[in-house]
Structure 1
Amino acid sequence: MRADNPYHEPENNPARIGCITASDLLDALKTAKGRKTYVYKKATERITNETKQGFISAAMVRGQELEAEAKHELEILSKRQVKDFKPAFIKHELIEGFGASPDGCWADENTLIEIKCPENPAYHLDTVNEKIIKPEYQTQMLAQLSVMRSRGFDRCDFISYYPALHEDGSHFAVVSFVPSLEEIMELEEKVMVLNDEIDAAIEIVRTQKKATVEYLRRTNGKTKESK
């Protein structure tokens, strides 16, 4: 059995603190409220150089536990090798504070691999029968390809793995995701705007910190004078 990717780093890896990542970018793009929360979270990480462990769902745990198994089974079925990246978290060469952790790639071609292990068989069968990729996964892969295109990657194989269907032979579904350069550049523009918002939030925090200290000291001085 294939071992877990030895290059996976914990969430508090210094390389990814404060970074916009492929896996969480959609949190900032869905709603205005979610964007504000995201901006403040990343701003806090950049100020403190620390990160807090986020919410881990049962689906996320399942995915982490089954990823190595999925790669092992994928290699057997495809008779090809799946390569892990070292380091696992890779930063964009041009856009500061932006990176991704692709699940891997095919060793014999420049195609990324994104593996999902859904709890709900309906999601898996959607991929098997209708080649449907949920929008949030498309955003994740688009961001990964933005980070990795300087290394020659221009496509990603989206792979759904549902081990309960192994005996039937339907345990894997594969959809090739090949976005246009325009789509990638459009996403990069959104990332750069988001980065500017995070930097602006940090600047406001620093300005307000100075104003707060000055106000408190002025107030303290007036109190002493009145006694």
Structure 2
Amino acid sequence: MLEIINCTQGSPEWLQARLGIPTASEFASILTKGRGGAESRTRQTYLYKLAGERLTGEVMESFISAHMERGKLMEEEARSAYSFVTGLDCETVGFLRRGQAGASPDALIGQNGLLEIKTKLPHLLIEALLKGEFPPEHKAQCQGQLWIAEREWLDLAIYWPGLPIMITRAHRDETFINELSAAVAQFNQELDRAVAQVAAYGQMEAA
């Protein structure tokens, strides 16, 4: 069942809403495979960070570069550019939670759509424009948002001031979403076990 948490993205309320659960921005980490079928270090690190959040009640620290900070500041500008080009209205949303997973799309569009904004440096946006395809590196996050939100399509808007905005639409890929939801469920089982083991370890130490 979908739970909509009304808050400002990046606020303390938003951080609390997503504490200790996998979110769409990191679904690619959950799907990452290690060499030779071994567990991915990226996936393992993400699991341990979420376990730490659950056990301490504190949000894991994440690095925010100057480019990422600027990207957040340009988000409203990008939303306005998207609305101007498409004629569609954007409804901002805080956090969407479905069970033990969640997502923070940059806007809801009508009854069936979502918007995800990416700001890319000019040379990267130019490369994306000339390729003219949905960037595969964003597939897990965007399909994950469609899964969590139970929506039909998502527009990915890639933006940088002074350049044309690139808008590509992705529709639900049910096969991918089924694989993703199964991978997230398995990840959450492993996460639960890790939290329980560490909690039991702490109880043994106290005894």
Q: Secondary structure at the match of 1:141?
A: helix
Which deviations, in whole Å up to 9, do the C-alpha atoms of 1:101-120 show, x marking residues without a partner?
0001323x51111111102x
Find the counterpart in structure 2 of residue 103 from structure 1: 106
Structure 1 contact 157–177 (Cα < 8 Å) conserved: yes
Find the counterpart in structure 1 of residue 194 from structure 2: 201
Matched residues in 2 for 1:195 and 1:148: separation? 19
Query: Structure 1 residue 156: deviation in Å?
Result: 0.6
| Number of residue equivalences | 195
Aligned amino acid, residue 161 of structure 1? Y
Residue among 24, 27, 36 paired with 2:26: 24
Alpha-carbon RMSD across the aligned residues, in angstroms, is: 2.1
Query: Structure 1 residue 36: deviation in Å?
Result: 1.5
Q: Secondary structure at the match of 1:91?
A: strand
**Comparing both chains, which one has the higher relative contact order based on Cα–Cα distances under 8 Å and sequence gaps of 6 or more?**
2
Matched residues in 2 for 1:191 and 1:59: separation? 29
Find the counterpart in structure 2 of residue 222 from structure 1: none
Q: Secondary structure at the match of 1:160?
A: strand
Find the counterpart in structure 1 of residue 162 from structure 2: 164
* CA separation of 1:131 and 1:105: change in aligned 2, threshold 3 A: farther
Matched residues in 1 for 2:186 and 2:7: separation? 34
Find out whether 1:139 has 2:143 as its counterpart: no
Q: Secondary structure at the match of 1:13?
A: helix
User: What is the TM-score with the length of structure 1 in the denominator?
Assistant: 0.78
Bigger shift: 180-189 or 47-56? 47-56
Structure 1 contact 126–132 (Cα < 8 Å) conserved: no
* Structure ID, larger Rg: 1
Bigger shift: 121-130 or 58-67? 121-130
Which deviations, in whole Å up to 9, do the C-alpha atoms of 1:35-86 show, x marking residues without a partner?
221111101111122213311123321220111001112222223322212x
Q: Secondary structure at the match of 1:184?
A: helix
Which residues in structure 2 correspond to 1:62-73 (within 5 Å)?
62-73=70-81
Query: Structure 1 residue 13: deviation in Å?
Result: 3.0
Matched residues in 2 for 1:102 and 1:36: separation? 25
Find out whether 1:57 has 2:58 as its counterpart: no
Residue among 174, 182, 196 paired with 1:189: 182
Q: Secondary structure at the match of 2:156?
A: strand
Matched residues in 1 for 2:7 and 2:186: separation? 34
Matched residues in 2 for 1:124 and 1:196: separation? 38
Structure 2 contact 55–199 (Cα < 8 Å) conserved: no
List runs of 5+ in structure 2 lacking aligned partners: 1-5, 35-39
Which deviations, in whole Å up to 9, do the C-alpha atoms of 1:172-199 show, x marking residues without a partner?
1111112321211110001001101110
Matched residues in 1 for 2:7 and 2:190: separation? 34
* CA separation of 1:190 and 1:18: change in aligned 2, threshold 3 A: same
Structure 1 moving runs of 4+ over 6 Å: none
Query: Structure 1 residue 208: deviation in Å?
Result: 1.9
Identity of aligned residues (%): 30
